[in-house]
């Protein structure tokens, strides 16, 4: 972990009340924060490569962007193969995140500390040396107290260690920086404009978005026809630079920049575009004629267009810090939001050191479901993020509309590759443009995503790229034409190549992701303060942009959850999540791994409002599950905020392989073991017909036997509960086999309730 000096930044959590004077003396007077060192210029090797490229490019001349004649030069590092990173606001720089695991300010470490009970100013005094009188006031950065209790502070390492040893301290962890995971999609999901709605309830729903801010001037956020905010709303609107205030659609907007780092605009305004895009995807009003320069033209709208939006700006140019994320959760829960959408993630940690797991747990306690992006580190396995079982973890899938750009070679061959409009990315295209290049062709087998470039460009498979490479090397004057991008219909859905896969390693018997939602080539509102590419040299600003990422999938799932809640406002977060999982459409997986990439399948919101049965989970069940996973009684008591000790030994232990009433079933077989043996205990609640009979059916792969006991569930009334168990027996057929996938279906005369069953070998990960 990279530090500057010797200070840590901590966030401190308290379960009950917080004494404002707790940390009034924790920084020495002579410990003045210093500026972080600046990044160095490009390496000599990079400069030499740029010189090499500059001598290779020849400018062909200025033609319209939709038609470029270009000379193809036999430079392998220019044309093929070309591994393309995601745009700056979508890519996950895990290496840099790991290098900067602790954000620093001067010589102190900035840490998050989670405490229980009321504390006086003497708490910190016990964890510092006797010369504490020299410690300056002002080390406390922020305190949490609306929905949960804690604080962020700058402490010396030994102070942090002593504080962590205190009886009522839940956890002390560094304040890390996390990354953002970044029209026709709702129609594709079956939610056309005339879909059945409960408008009165929907207009009282509030979706809280933790993101980069919002561009309230977008037509997607017009409040024409809206009444005043719901009476339950307790939030606020914070004015600031370039922000004109809220309205009856965007009823709340505030920001958190607790480390006081450099920012463009200290206000809820969106300088990035990401937050505007996600907000409009979840709850934007219908806007006709939306497009990106004519591409994907149609009506752009959110999943619950009558719902209200509350924006909590927690992400800035450097990323999204833990302390800002917790501040956003603290406010959103207290403000009265109904659903939280958060397209942000980082390296998975134990739940009580993970601000998203902590914040979403408190949201769940208050009846709020949190939808989170799964991450953009696919197709690698065990790359999944945001894995707490009370979170709805969302993978990215396609819709039946994609974009392609055709490259015509001089010898008459046609090669097609998927592309966004010819404007930009964060990788090779800017260098090539600066060196006089007029276009770029890239080869990458993970070429299903679309985004803008600074110059005419296309991405194609390595096989197609090889044909171009051969053409270059066998032709004296190689020429090609890059045509304007066009819209094409495709078979869908399939899981996006970049979408992070399971299995998750924190609680490995819980299948993640939970669900998939559209995240490929999504058109939605965009901030007019951000260029299409995010490149400062790009002077193209638009009202709507096309972006790919699990960031785009997350608000689709949040909107779908809000849609379900509009029909069932009394359902628990787990029941809403269950309804979306058990009614999901089965997925096509381009890469191996099946449900490790798709979870239960792609959301089907119109079916989810009538799922027949739901797998409900109460907070006490999550606590029993955590006891089983090794969390101690004191830590769990502190998390709940209760005064009494939650004694794990005094409660009925969680049963079965996974110990939780989850809608999916997953188990991992130890390395070197081919035998499979697992049992899952489940309880379903009837939310369909009062008098109904469900019969179990299992679809099996070779090598796996699944027994359901009983095979029939008979219900006499709504809300009646019935229990069953699922027993797995079998073996992997050979040493190369590592995953087996089955499907359990409960069916009556109307409903089909699906649960994926997955077995995988842990030796693979």
Which residue numbers are catalytic? 211, 274, 551
What is the spatial distance between Cα 667 and Cα 706, in angstroms, rounded to a whole number?
13
CA 612 to chain centre: 28
- Residue 495, strand partner residues: 397
String of b and e for 39-48 (b: at least 16 CB within 10 Å)? Answer: eeeeeeeeee
What is the spatial distance between Cα 418 and Cα 401, in angstroms, rounded to a whole number?
11
- Please provide the DSSP assignment of 504-559 as one string: -SSSTTS-S--EEEE-SSEEEE--TTS-SSS-TT-----SEEEE-SHHHHHHHHHH
Residue (of 502, 493, 564, 561) closest to 522 by Cα position: 493
Task: For residue 58, count CB atoms less than 10 angstroms from its CB and return exposed for 0-12, middle for 13-18, buried for 19 or more.
Answer: exposed
Two tokens, residue 280: 């409009």
- Please provide the DSSP assignment of 349-389 as one string: --GGG-HHHHHHHHHHHTT-EEEEE--S-TTSTT------T
CA 22 to chain centre: 34
DSSP state of 219: G
CA 283 to chain centre: 17
What is the spatial distance between Cα 341 and Cα 392, in angstroms, rounded to a whole number?
10
Residue (of 462, 454, 522, 580) closest to 90 by Cα position: 522
What is the spatial distance between Cα 255 and Cα 264, in angstroms, rounded to a whole number?
13
- Residue 675, strand partner residues: 731
Distances (CA, A) of 267 to 213, 233, 241, 313: 8, 21, 6, 8
How many Cβ atoms sit within 10 Å of the Cβ of residue 650?
Answer: 8
- Phi/psi of residue 111, nearest 5 degrees: -125, 155
- Residue 108, strand partner residues: 105
Handedness of CA 732, 733, 737, 743 (dihedral sign): negative
- Tokens 């920001």 locate to 255
What is the spatial distance between Cα 400 and Cα 494, in angstroms, rounded to a whole number?
10
Residue (of 259, 282, 280) closest to 270 by Cα position: 280
How many Cβ atoms sit within 10 Å of the Cβ of residue 477?
Answer: 7
What is the spatial distance between Cα 762 and Cα 760, in angstroms, rounded to a whole number?
6
What is the CB-side half-sphere exposure of residue 196 using CA atoms within 13 A? 9
């Amino acid at each position: 972990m990279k530090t500057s000096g010797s200070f840590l930044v901590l966030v401190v959590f308290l379960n009950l009340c917080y004494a404002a004077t707790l940390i009034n003396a924790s920084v020495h007077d002579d410990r003045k924060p210093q500026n972080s060192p600046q990044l160095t210029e490009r390496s000599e090797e990079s400069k030499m490569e740029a010189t090499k490229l500059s001598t290779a490019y020849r400018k062909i001349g200025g033609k319209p962007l939709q038609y470029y004649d270009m000379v193809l030069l036999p430079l392998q590092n220019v044309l093929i193969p070309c591994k393309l990173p995601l745009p700056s606001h979508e890519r996950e720089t895990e290496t840099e995140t790991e290098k900067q695991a602790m954000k620093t300010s001067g010589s102190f470490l900035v840490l998050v500390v989670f405490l229980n009970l009321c504390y006086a100013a003497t708490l910190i005094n016990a964890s510092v040396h006797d010369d504490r009188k020299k410690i300056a006031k002002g080390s406390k950065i922020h305190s949490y107290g609306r929905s949960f209790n804690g604080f962020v502070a700058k402490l010396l390492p030994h102070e942090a260690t002593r504080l962590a040893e205190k009886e009522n301290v839940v956890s002390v962890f560094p304040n890390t920086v996390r990354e953002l995971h970044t029209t026709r999609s709702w129609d594709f999901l079956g939610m056309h404009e005339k879909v059945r709605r409960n408008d009165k309830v929907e207009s009282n729903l509030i979706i809280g978005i933790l993101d980069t801010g919002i561009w309230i001037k977008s037509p997607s956020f017009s409040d024409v026809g809206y009444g005043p905010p719901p009476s339950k709303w307790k939030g606020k609107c914070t004015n600031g630079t370039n922000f004109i205030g809220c309205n009856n659609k965007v009823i709340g907007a505030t920001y958190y920049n607790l480390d006081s780092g450099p920012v463009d605009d200290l206000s809820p305004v969106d300088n990035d575009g990401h937050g505007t895009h996600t907000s409009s995807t979840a709850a934007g009003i219908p806007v006709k004629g939306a497009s990106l320069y004519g591409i994907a033209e149609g009506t752009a709208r959110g999943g619950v267009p009558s719902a209200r939006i509350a924006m909590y700006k927690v992400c800035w140019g450097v990323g999204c810090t833990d302390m800002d994320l917790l501040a956003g959760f603290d406010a959103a829960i207290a403000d009265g939001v109904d659903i939280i959408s958060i397209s942000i993630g980082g390296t998975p940690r134990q739940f009580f050191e993970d601000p998203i797991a902590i914040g979403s747990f408190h949201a769940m306690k208050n009846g709020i479901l949190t939808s989170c992006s799964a991450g953009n580190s696919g197709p690698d396995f065990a790359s999944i993020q945001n894995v707490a079982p009370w979170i709805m973890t969302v993978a990215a899938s396609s819709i039946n509309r994609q974009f392609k750009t055709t490259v015509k070679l001089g010898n008459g061959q046609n090669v097609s590759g998927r592309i966004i409009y010819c404007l930009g990315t964060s990788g090779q295209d800017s260098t090539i443009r600066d060196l006089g290049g007029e276009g770029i062709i890239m080869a990458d087998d993970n070429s299903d995503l679309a985004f803008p470039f600074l110059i005419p460009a296309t991405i194609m498979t390595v096989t197609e790229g090889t044909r171009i490479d051969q053409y270059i090397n066998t032709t004296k004057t190689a020429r090609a034409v890059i045509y304007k991008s066009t819209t094409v219909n495709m078979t869908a859905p399939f899981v996006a190549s970049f979408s992070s896969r399971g299995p998750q390693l924190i609680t490995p018997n819980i299948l993640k992701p939970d669900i998939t939602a559209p995240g490929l080539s999504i058109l939605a509102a965009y901030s007019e303060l951000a260029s299409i590419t995010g490149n400062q040299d790009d002077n193209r600003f638009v009202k709507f942009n096309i972006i790919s990422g699990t960031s785009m999938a997350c608000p689709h799932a949040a909107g779908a959850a809000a849609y379900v809640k509009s029909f069932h406002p009394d359902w628990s977060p787990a029941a809403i999540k269950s309804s979306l999982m058990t009614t999901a459409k089965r997925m096509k997986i381009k890469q191996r791994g099946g449900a490790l990439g798709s979870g239960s399948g792609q959301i089907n919101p119109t079916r989810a409002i009538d799922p027949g049965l739901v797998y409900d989970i109460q907070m006490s069940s999550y606590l029993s599950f955590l006891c089983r996973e090794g969390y101690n009684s004191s830590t769990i008591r502190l998390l709940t905020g209760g005064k009494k000790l939650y004694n794990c030994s005094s409660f009925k232990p969680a049963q079965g392989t996974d110990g939780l009433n989850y809608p999916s079933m997953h188990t991992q077989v130890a390395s070197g073991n081919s035998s499979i043996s697992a049992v899952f205990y489940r309880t379903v609640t009837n939310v369909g017909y009062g008098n109904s009979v469900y019969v179990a059916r299992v679809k099996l792969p070779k090598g796996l036997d699944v027994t359901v006991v009983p095979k029939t569930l008979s219900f006499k009334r709504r809300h009646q509960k019935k229990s069953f168990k699922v027993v797995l027996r079998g073996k992997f057929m050979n040493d190369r086999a590592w995953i087996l996938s089955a499907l359990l279906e409960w069916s009556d005369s109307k409903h089909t309730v699906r649960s994926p069953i997955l077995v995988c070998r842990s030796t693979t990960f």
